[in-house]
Amino acid sequence: MEDASEQARALDEEITADQALLRAVEEALEAGDDKALHDLVGDLHEADLADLLELLRPDERTELIRRLGRDFEFGTLSELDESVRDQLVEALPNAQLAEAVRELDSDDAVYLLENLEEDEQSDILARVPAGERAQLERSLAYPEDSAGRLMQTEFVAVPPFWSVGQTIDHLREADNLPDRFSALFVVSPTFHLLGEVPLDKLLRTPRPVAIEKIMERDLRPIPVTTDQEEVARLFERYDLYAAPVIDGDGRLVGVITVDDVVEVIQEEADEDIKRLAGVGDESLADSILRIASGRFPWLLVNLATSILASLVIGLFDATIAQMVALAVLMPIVASMGGNAGTQTMTVAVRALATRELGSANARRIIVRETLVGLLNGLAFALVMVVVVLVWFGSGPLGLVIAAAMVINMLVAGIAGILIPMLLDRMGIDPAVASTVFLTTVTDVVGFFAFLGIAALWLV
């Protein structure tokens, strides 16, 4: 308990400090006090400055960057939420964006450029040295969310016949190496990937030894067109820190590092959670109109499915009129089925995304979820019999809702696993469409089962 209290106090202090910094920055911006702004944000980490920018109004963001001038760290742009980054990129002059592209690592530069219009991209790239421009244009030509967009084109490559001493001397003298790297790659004269040498192994080997004697040949190169979700899965599965990226001919064209993959994992998890709720790719920085328009389509679909459920209820209006208790208890059956189905669906969607659920274990998982639904249905059926007896004093009504509860929770368990699997098989993202279909199934089955049994038995 003390640890939890300390963590809560630390979080409160952090939030208070952020609020105080935000107010101080806003006041300095309003007063035009450049010195105060530099004192307030000059020593902030790029990620912390990005958080601050996201809290400011759009006009304040561009004003802060303008007043910081050359003290603004361009790496901050790659730490921003996508919608905030795009707003800033649109507002900043192309000359400043070109300077940012020159300073950033190639993967961050691509991230900065990828959503711009072609004419703006061309204007910015025209201000970049020819060699860097060619690399960026090649990366931008790869599919969105692919390894080619995710990789950085700065890496260290050496021939296999070099000695360890030659390689170390090269690393000390070359001025065009990446800022940080943990391994170097061994390539043929045509730049085909041959192997990899971790830096720790290089430094522990005597200088006369040839690189080909110590290189690791068991690599897991990633094709340049691989989807970023698959890249993340490979890093997680094989505990990779960095992975070479190869083109269709097997030539080394880039490297993906674990820090980029962590961002992909967070991005994909965030995307799946939002899609399950039907809110797309919106963020807290989006405008009211964009958020409302993004949510409207799925709310419209939900309205249509709700009308379908209401039509089912309308079939039994005479039954409900004769026993008002049915109207009171009816939402319980549908709600329990919906919640049970959502639990199963959430597990299924995530398992499909991480490739843990596939044809090899599908039958076992379907049987498991069916039995879970049946077991929970029986347990809550007993609970509802007792509740109805106490509430309405009616044993037959309790048995009716118990039977409906078992049927709906059983169907919910089956639908919760089958709907995502069928959508995935059809090439439809289950995170987007599963919720609507599942809600329809559990509502229709719940109302039909409860009112249908009641009509046959009680009325």
Say what percent of the chain tops pLDDT 90. Answer: 27
As a whole number, mean pLDDT of residues 108-119 equals: 86
Q: Choose between 71 and 4: higher pLDDT.
A: 71
As a whole number, mean pLDDT of residues 156-176 equals: 93
Class of domain 157-275: alpha beta
As a whole number, mean pLDDT of residues 419-444 equals: 85
- Given a cut of 60, whether residue 166 has pLDDT beyond it is yes
As a whole number, mean pLDDT of residues 90-112 equals: 87
Predicted confidence (pLDDT) per residue in 36-56, tens digit: 888 888 888 888 888 888 888
pLDDT at residue 226, rounded to an integer: 95
Counting Cβ atoms within 10 Å, is residue 413 exposed (0-12), middle (13-18) or buried (19+)? buried
Q: Choose between 97 and 271: higher pLDDT.
A: 97
pLDDT at residue 277, rounded to an integer: 64
- What backbone phi and psi angles, to 5 degrees, belong to 355? 65, 20
Least-confidence region, from 9-18, 143-152, 252-261, 400-409:
9-18
pTM of the shown model: 0.69
Fold designation for 288-457: Tetracycline Repressor; domain 2 (1.10.357)
- Given a cut of 60, whether residue 309 has pLDDT beyond it is yes
Decide if 68 contacts 43 (C-beta within 8 A): no
CA dist., res. 399 & res. 406, Å (int): 11
| Beta carbons within 10 angstroms of residue 294's beta carbon | 16
Q: Considering the chain, tell me which residue range(s) the CATH 1.25.60.10 domain(s) occupy.
A: 11-145
The DSSP line for 141-172 is HSPTTBHHHH-BS---EE-TTSBHHHHHHHHH
Counting Cβ atoms within 10 Å, is residue 453 exposed (0-12), middle (13-18) or buried (19+)? middle
The pLDDT-based confidence of 1 (bands split at 50, 70, 90) is very low
As a whole number, mean pLDDT of residues 232-255 equals: 91
Class of domain 11-145: mainly alpha
Q: CB-based contacts of 251: which residues, under 8 Å, 6+ apart? A: 190, 191, 192, 193
- Given a cut of 80, whether residue 459 has pLDDT beyond it is no
- Given a cut of 80, whether residue 17 has pLDDT beyond it is no
Predicted confidence (pLDDT) per residue in 330-347, tens digit: 888 888 888 888 889 888
- Given a cut of 70, whether residue 153 has pLDDT beyond it is yes
Decide if 150 contacts 256 (C-beta within 8 A): yes
The pLDDT-based confidence of 11 (bands split at 50, 70, 90) is very low
As a whole number, mean pLDDT of residues 196-223 equals: 94
pLDDT at residue 221, rounded to an integer: 94
Decide if 185 contacts 219 (C-beta within 8 A): no
CA dist., res. 369 & res. 416, Å (int): 8
Mean pLDDT (the chain) is 85
